[in-house]
A and B are shown apart, each in its own frame.
With several copies, the nearest count.
Chain A
Amino acid sequence: MFKKLLIANRGEIAVRIVRACREMGVSPVAVYSSADQSALHVRLADEAIHIGPAPSSESYLVIEKIIAAAKRTGAEAIHPGYGFLSENAEFALAVESAGLTLIGPPASAMKIMGSKTSARRAAIEAGAPVVPGTTQPLASVEEAEALAATTGYPVMLKAAAGGGGRGMRLVRSPAEIASAFSLARSEAEASFKDSSVYIEKYIERPRHIEIQLIGDREGDFVYLGERECSLQRRHQKVVEECPSPVVDEEMRRRVGESAVRVARAAGYVNAGTVEFLVDREKNFYFLEMNTRLQVEHPITELVTGRDLVHEQIRVAAGERLSFSQDDIIMRGAAIECRIYAEDPQNDFLPSPGLIKRLSMPSGPGVRIDSGIYEGWKVPLDYDSLLAKLCVWAETREAAINRLARALDECAIEGIQTTLEFFRAVSRDREFRLGNFDTGFIDRFLADGMKTDNPEGEDDRDAQLSDIAAIAAVLHAKERAAKLDLSSAQAVESRWKLYGRISQRR
């Protein structure tokens, strides 16, 4: 086992890895930018190396600085967390050339999964179902028509060089395809200076699930069930659960085995996640593979009872997997809420700043992975994830009830967060029924985050709002009084001080 491990990350995930190190008797080394010197991950580490100014392009993303920090402290391994350099094949190679161990897959596997085209090819070769269509550019509108006829309508035309929704056209019938094709092409040309367009079957109201897996260096793989990640806002996950409400034992086995085949085909090692779209008929399609630890890994840990970060470190140190496929038993249900520093009342605008007060829930079935503390000034330089609130309970319904309870105990004062938004989601009828797809949150927000009030709630609302107004007035008075009082007291204590000094003389 490693004696010392460098964590090339910040925030809650760096804290998560520090904790795993402590639990394994490995000394954790932190790196930090100038914005993060007093960050929680630094506070909890044994050693900490400054790697540059606040912008991540000059600190957390600079490969040479990370390697140098590892060399300087004598760390033998590097855990990249998620984001930053975690899926950078060049970084993986640099770590290897420096004679260090990366807690992650080999660069070759990262490369295969790093490009849409090669990942899709690998998935097809491994026999995993992919969204029907082609990633090759369409030569003509006739080819588009022919392919659309084969896959069946609706289809999606996508710019090959695309991203962010530009150069995309949904086509619901053969009548629309010719004009859509030329529109998509010209939009692609305008946006990316590349008019190539390809065609894919359009999955209506899809769900988004992903399989967690881990493999050791001897080529053994185990999948640890799926996570449901359909609750997204602008393609960013906000609520995840494990297991998915639509996946049964048999489907789990099929999707899981599919995921393992894809990973094996890519020569994958260590923890990774294979994402799938699921249509209304529960057909699943390979989407992509994330070649790193995921933000939402804790819900898999809660349900399977396995510690993914411990296992990652063990596998990277050359140990065999400590469990086999038969050892993976799903128990109960877990849900994660990503607490972002964003204002749900104001179009989710970022809200960095000082955390004046912090109150986190605890008790049965609650797990908090946090990168913040009371008095910490959340910097504006990095992404807005503050902490993750995860709950576990015997059933999905019990987990949702527990989530609502835990959210009510939770308060982050000083900045705006998504807590309020989650309180509304946890009480939403459709969410509680498990009836949702990747469009749920946009629809939910368009409806004004309204939850149905049980009867008699209107009276309670009026009273609550009166009590809230009274509290606001009390607080306004208190603040004003404190200002006066503190000055008065201080003058008095100043007198005392002078008094004491003169006595001493």
Chain B
Amino acid sequence: MKYEAEIDGRQISIELERRDRSVSAMVDGRRYELEVLCPERGLYLIFAGERVYEARAWSAESDLFTVKLRDRVFSARVIDRKHRRSVADHSDEGRQQLTAPMPGKVVRLLREQGDEVEAGQGVVVVEAMKMQNEIKSTKAGRIVEIRVAAGDTVNANQVLAVVE
């Protein structure tokens, strides 16, 4: 099976065959013959010759993985070729969705629907864990929609407002 992956910003292609514990992998042309055990959920014990690697993998979003190897933590995106386009879709041409970077509570709105905003101007203030965060518009435009009100609880990546 072939996969496209992005790891710490680097694009790589991975070809991987697994038969029980044996894994053959080709990463950007580098060949690995591995033995892999999974002693805990999300924990891969990878034997490569004499070397052994304990890799912990977990995911926040469906295609974004965090992998910890001893002292190193990697961010990896595993890309399904078919869905590649839809993932790239994320930032639309003309419209800009302002999303919550973290779960939290909407403390106040700094602008109203219909207001014009400059790039870098704050629109909504979200608070979590005693820290307030101004969610800013990255471009100039008009706020066509505000989807939250003060006091609302929001999830990470939830759309708060739309700027056109």
Residues in A lying within 8 Å of B, measured CB to CB = 29-30, 37-38, 42-49, 72-73, 341-343, 345-346, 349-353, 356-357, 359, 373-376, 380-384, 404, 407-408, 411, 413-414, 420, 423, 427, 464-479
A411 with B56: CB separation less than 8 A: yes
- CB-defined contacts of B51 to chain A, threshold 8 Å: 46-47
Whole-angstrom distance between the Cβ of A118 and the nearest chain B Cβ: 27
Contact at B102–A469, with CB atoms within 8 Å?
Answer: no
Q: Tell whether, in the assembled complex, residue B104 and residue A407 are in contact, meaning their CB atoms are under 8 Å apart.
A: no
Q: How far is the CB of A160 from chain B (nearest CB, A)?
A: 25
Q: How large is the interface on B (under 10, 10 to 19, 20 to 34, 35 or more residues)?
A: 35 or more
Q: Which of B23, B59, B131 contacts A475 (CB 8 A)?
A: B59
The stretch that binds A, out of B33-41, B87-95, B114-122, is B33-41
B32 touches A470 (CB 8 A): yes
Contact B58 A468 (CB under 8 A): no
CA distance A352 to B129 in the complex (A): 8
Chain A residues within 8 Å of B76, by CB = 468-469, 472
- Of A38, A374, A411, A474, most buried by chain B (CB within 10 Å of CB) is A474
Measured between beta carbons, the chain A residues less than 8 angstroms from B78 are: 472-473, 476
For window 99-128 of chain B, which residues contact chain A by CB distance below 8 Å?
A: 101-105, 128
CB proximity of B60 to chain A, nearest CB, Å:
8
Q: Contact between A467 and B69 (Cβ–Cβ < 8 Å)? A: yes
Residue from B48, B55, B104, B105 within 8 A of A468 (CB atoms): B55
Q: How far is the CB of A244 from chain B (nearest CB, A)?
A: 26
Judge whether B52 is part of the interface by a CB distance below 8 angstroms. yes
Q: With contacts A382-B129, A383-B130, A475-B42 known, is A37 near B37, CB below 8 A?
A: yes
Dominant secondary structure at the A interface: mixed
- Is B5 an interface position by the 8 A CB rule? yes
User: How far is A176 from B56 in the complex, measured between Cα atoms in Å?
Assistant: 56
Interface pair A375/B18, CB less than 8 Å apart: no
CB distance from A310 to the nearest CB of B (A): 20
A residues within 8 A CB of B101? 346, 349
Beta-carbon contact of B18 and A477 below 8 Å: yes
A-B contact pairs, 28 of them (CB 8 A): A37-B37, A38-B37, A42-B52, A43-B52, A46-B51, A49-B50, A73-B50, A346-B101, A349-B101, A351-B102, A357-B41, A373-B39, A373-B40, A375-B39, A382-B129, A382-B130, A407-B71, A413-B66, A427-B71, A464-B53, A466-B12, A470-B34, A472-B65, A472-B74, A476-B3, A476-B59, A477-B18, A478-B38
* A382→B39 CA distance, assembly (Å): 19
Once the chains bind, are A472 and B57 in contact (CB under 8 Å)?
yes
Binary flags per residue of B1-32, CB closer than 8 Å to A gives 1, else 0: 10101011010101010100001010110101
Q: Of all chain B residues, which has the CB nearest A374?
A: B40
Q: Tell me the bound Cα distance from A309 to B36 in angstroms.
A: 31
CB of B69 to closest CB in A, whole Å: 6
Q: Which of B39, B58, B75 contacts A38 (CB 8 A)?
A: B39
- In whole Å, how far is A156's beta carbon from the nearest beta carbon of chain B? 26
Instruction: Provide the residues of chain B in CB contact with A465, threshold 8 Å.
Output: 7-8, 10, 74
Assess the A380–B5 pair: CB atoms within 8 A.
no
Q: When the two chains form their complex, are residues B44 and A38 in contact, meaning their CB atoms are under 8 A apart?
A: no
CB distance from B16 to the nearest CB of A (A): 6
Residues in A with CB closer than 8 Å to B102 are 343, 349-352
Interface residue B159 (Cβ < 8 Å from any Cβ of A):
no
Does B12 contact A350, Cβ atoms closer than 8 Å?
no
- By CB atoms of chain B within 10 A, which of A29, A349, A376 has the most? A349
In the docked arrangement, what's the CA distance between A379 and B65, Å? 23
Cross-chain contact A472 with B39 (CB below 8 angstroms):
no
Q: Which residues of A contact B7 (CB under 8 A)?
A: 465, 468-469, 472
A383 CB contact (under 8 Å) in B55, B129, B153: B129
Q: What is the minimal beta-carbon distance from A426 to any residue of chain B, in angstroms?
A: 9
B3–A473 contact, CB under 8 A?
A: yes
Minimum CB–CB distance from A164 to chain B (whole Å) comes to 12
CA–CA, A395 to B153, complex, Å? 47
Chain B residues with Cβ under 8 A from A375's Cβ? 39-41
For A382, the chain B residues whose CB sits under 8 A away are: 129-130
